[in-house]
Amino acid sequence: MTAAVSLIVLLVVLGSSIAVAAGMGLVGQILNQLYSPMPLTRMLGELTWSTTTNFILTAIPFYIMFGEILLRSGIAERMYNALVQWLSWLPGGLMHSNIGSCALFGSVSGSSVATAATIGVVAIGEIDKHNYNERLFLGTLAAGGTLGILIPPSINMIIYGVMTDTSVPKLYLAGFIPGFILTLLFSLTVLIACLWKPHWGGEKIPTSWQARIRTLPDLVPPLALLMIVIGAIFFGIATATESAAVGIIGALAITAWRRRLSLTMLRDVCEATVRTTAMVVAILVGAFFLNVVIQTIGLTQQLGKLITAYQLTPVQVLTAVIVLYLVLGTFMEELSMMISTIPITTPLILQAGYDPVWFGILLVLLIQTAMVTPPFGINIFVIHGIRGRGTLADVEKGSAPFVVALLLMIGLICVFPDIAMWLPRIVG
């Protein structure tokens, strides 16, 4: 009963377009009034303070700042041109460079929107220049961009880690191989499409070994940052937050080397970072409060009992959760979907006997899928906006083959959990 009421209240409040942060706070307050034996609101001050001074969460503004600096450092364009030389001989040409660039940029960036926007702006002019099938080309950018949150670092993994008390370095390790496989699956999708319809693949781009060698220095900055940011975590030298801080200094050094460092640039970086951070933190404060209320009124136990009563098997619970995310993901903004559902779904999954690290990776894959499924897919909006012509439906249709690849990846990780769990096991 409590569960049903809570869910309805949450849906009504968030559905009425109340800001997600305030909405979750409000629902927390309502449930507190209805069901809690003690006034939990009194904890709100202490809760906000302890949440926002959490050292692990500091990684979020650091990664956002890191991305803002990278954007202004000019490494993306050079990196893309280098990968064009190395990857465009494949059937599908530049579309493989798109996916490769997204994967490489994703391995220094913690955000999918930033990855799609950055690579998208660099690549989009090539569609007309080389006569590509526009839809598929757009799809590679929208879907490739989602790799930003699967390949570590990842802002979404940090949020999941903090909310569920799961080790962020382990999540990073677990995301690595699935990220690699998914990149290959995306490329394979392009390959199959272009072997079937060769004219989709555009005109050949002249490449030569000399040109390839010449572009190598342009790959050094992103690879060096990747080594610093990810290497430091993998080898246990630094925590996720520390490595993000080192990444900021590294990105600043590259910006200075390219003579692009200025006070105006720093001011813009600071302002943009704080605005985005505040938006994320506001939702987190609301969610942490709601989380405390949910736990106090025993909502999770109630759901757990429900599952026992209906004698649901772990696989059934998992299937239900996956379907829930696929449905919610079509119309809900991705970040809010993740934060508002974690307190409910994660305990259920853990109770069913699944590993929290493994579920974190599955959740990220589901969020990626949500980012490229209409009507609300943030990456579709981003790529459509960059293109500046045609209809949203073009990007949606172009992304469809990659949604199939994502669903395949979700299936793979469910059947072979070791794809995610092998690396954290041997390193940890």
Partner 1 sequence: MKRLQAIAEGISRGGAIVGGAMLLLAAVTICIDIVLRYAFSLTVGGADELSGYALAIASAWGFSAALLSRSHIRIDTVYVRVTKRARATLDLVSLAAFVFFAALVAWHAWGVLRQSYVSGSHSLSAIEMPLVVPQTLWFAGLAFFVAVALLLLARALFAYLKGDLDKLFELIGSKSAVAEAEEEIIAVERAFDSERKQ
Q: Residues 6, 109, 133, 277: which binds partner 1 (CB under 8 A)?
A: 277
Nearest-approach distance from CB 51 to partner 1, in angstroms: 9
Nearest-approach distance from CB 315 to partner 1, in angstroms: 31
- Rounded to an integer, what distance in angstroms lies between the CA atom of residue 83 and that of residue 207? 11
- Rounded to an integer, what distance in angstroms lies between the CA atom of residue 30 and that of residue 232? 44
Q: What is the dihedral of CA 272, 277, 282, 286, to 10 degrees?
A: 160
Binders of partner 1 among residues 216 to 255 (CB under 8 A) are 237-238, 241-242, 244-246, 248-249
Tell me the window of 101-109, 278-286, 302-310, 419-427 that interacts with partner 1 (CB under 8 A). 278-286
Residue 20 within binding range of partner 1, rule CB under 8 A: yes
Chain centroid, CA 103 distance in Å:
12
In the stretch 31-70, what mask flags binding to partner 1 with x, by CB under 8 A? ----------xxxxxx-xx--xxxx-xx-xxx--x-----
Tell which residue, 6, 179, 23, 113, has the closest CA to residue 335. Answer: 113
Nearest-approach distance from CB 279 to partner 1, in angstroms: 5
Contacts of 362 (CB under 8 A, 6+ apart): 322, 410, 413, 414, 420
Q: Give me the sign of the Cα torsion angle 9, 14, 18, 20.
A: positive
> What is the residue type of 373?
T
Tell me the window of 9-17, 94-102, 363-371, 418-426 that interacts with partner 1 (CB under 8 A). 9-17
Nearest-approach distance from CB 234 to partner 1, in angstroms: 16
Nearest-approach distance from CB 310 to partner 1, in angstroms: 30
Under the phi-then-psi rule, with left for phi > 0, alpha for psi from -120 to 50, and beta for the rest, what region is 12? alpha
Q: Residues 173, 194, 299, 382: which binds partner 1 (CB under 8 A)?
A: 382
Q: 18 vs 407, which CB is nearer to partner 1? A: 18
- Rounded to an integer, what distance in angstroms lies between the CA atom of residue 354 and that of residue 273? 36
Chain centroid, CA 416 distance in Å:
22
Find tokens 């390959």 and name the residue.
191
In the stretch 93-122, what mask flags binding to partner 1 with x, by CB under 8 A? --------------------xx--xx-xxx
- Rounded to an integer, what distance in angstroms lies between the CA atom of residue 253 and that of residue 24? 40
Residue 177 within binding range of partner 1, rule CB under 8 A: no
Tell which residue, 334, 313, 322, has the closest CA to residue 407. Answer: 322
Nearest-approach distance from CB 222 to partner 1, in angstroms: 16
| Cβ-based neighbour number of residue 200 at 10 Å | 21
Q: 11 vs 404, which CB is nearer to partner 1? A: 11
In the stretch 335-374, what mask flags binding to partner 1 with x, by CB under 8 A? xx--------------------------------------
Residue 378 within binding range of partner 1, rule CB under 8 A: yes
Nearest-approach distance from CB 16 to partner 1, in angstroms: 6
In the stretch 253-272, what mask flags binding to partner 1 with x, by CB under 8 A? ------xx-----xx-xxxx
Find tokens 């990846």 and name the residue.
409
